[in-house]
Amino acid sequence: MKLAAAGSILGATGLLGAAARAQTPKTLGLERLENLAKSPLSTSEKPTEYKHVTSYNNYYEFGTEKEEPARYAKALKVRPWSVVVEGEVAKPRTFAIEELLKFPLEERIYRLRCVEAWSMVIPWIGIEFSRIAKLVEPTSKAKFVEFVTAYQPDTMIGARLPVLDWPYLEGLRIDEAMHPLTIMAVGLYGEVLPNQNGAPIRLVVPWKYGFKSGKSIVRIRFVEKQPKTAWERANPQEYGFYSNVNPEVDHPRWTQRKERRIPDFFASRQTVAFNGYGDQVAGLYAGMDLKKFY
Ligand SMILES: Nc1nc2c(c(=O)[nH]1)N[C@H]1C(S)=C(S)[C@@H](COP(=O)(O)O)O[C@H]1N2
Ligand SMILES: [Mo]
């Protein structure tokens, strides 16, 4: 009798232990980031599991298949790393990644909607882009911001093929870049970014299709003219400069009305204009033709 009781108590703690473990996301155990402020800009939607966020990726420099970045981006050289901030600014500056990691870090749980009609919810850790921008003092000529990502032909097996005109380059209008939702992410799920998600620092613009959020940024340039992005150069009919999430404008090859929330099998979610951030960003596009955003 005694033995059986002890056994059932052990059994119970075993179950409780398993439940507690299930609530703690299993991460890669990378370096942890501390003192993270919560943000009212976070969604209360349930984050996509870490294993999916870090194994279903688009990072063409490491291959065009979803599972390739997790496999091949281990080779990415992330130290030493610095980000050059230059162009139409009064105080151009180069930030070592160590300096950027000392900025006040916030958790931002954002939806990510890829132009391929899948989505996730990711607990990013980052710095508001405007904080970095204010330090370099953009001039009145700074109308756009160009984000240049790393090009390491020796480590990037995908970038040896001319899939895109490397380095992967993205851009925002200055007011989009300075919007409080726009962050430079340095981590996710409490840890530094895994390489496949754009280590050590990447852009995140949650109301635009995912390809606008360039990974592994090395250079930020404030410019007068609208940059020609890598995707626009590759296929201007399909990937325009603005590319705000818009269920009303179909991709030439598929509908954007619905999306598949990873790891779901069916595209059962309605896609929402501006990926659900319209209250905050629709005003940036007053007077523009929303039907012509590609
Ligand atoms: N340098 C670079 N950045 C990139 C990409 C890429 O191929 N190269 N893919 C983009 C696309 S299409 C998406 S959907 C997101 C995916 O980010 P995640 O893998 O962290 O979810 O990264 C974007 N940033
Ligand atoms: Mo994407």
pLDDT single digits (tens) 225-256 = 999 999 999 999 999 999 999 999 999 999 99
Reported pTM: 0.92
Residue 294 has what pLDDT? 61
Do 179 and 20 meet the contact criterion of CB atoms below 8 Å apart?
Answer: no
Q: Whose CA is nearest to atom 11 of ligand 1?
A: 211
Q: Which residues surround ligand 2, an ion (CB under 5 A)?
A: 58, 114, 210-211
Q: 28-285, which class in CATH?
A: alpha beta
Greatest Cα pair distance in the chain: 83
**Which ligand sits closest to the CA of 58?**
1
Which atom of ligand 1 sits closest to the CA of residue 197?
A: 20
Q: What is the pLDDT of residue 63?
A: 98
For ligand 1, residues with CB inside 6 Å are 57-61, 112, 114, 149, 168, 197-198, 210-211, 213-216
For residue 290, what pLDDT is reported?
A: 83
Q: Are 270 and 258 in contact (CB under 8 A)?
A: yes
- Give residue 229 CA to ligand 2 midpoint distance, Å: 14
4 has a pLDDT exceeding 60: no
Q: What's the Cα-to-Cα distance from 239 to each of 68, 93, 250, rounded to whole Å?
A: 23, 31, 11
Which burial class, exposed, middle or buried, applies to 19 when counting CB atoms under 10 A from its CB (0-12, 13-18, 19+)? exposed
Question: pLDDT value at position 128?
Answer: 98
- Say yes or no to pLDDT of 20 above 70: no
Task: Enumerate the domain spans of the chain.
Answer: 28-285
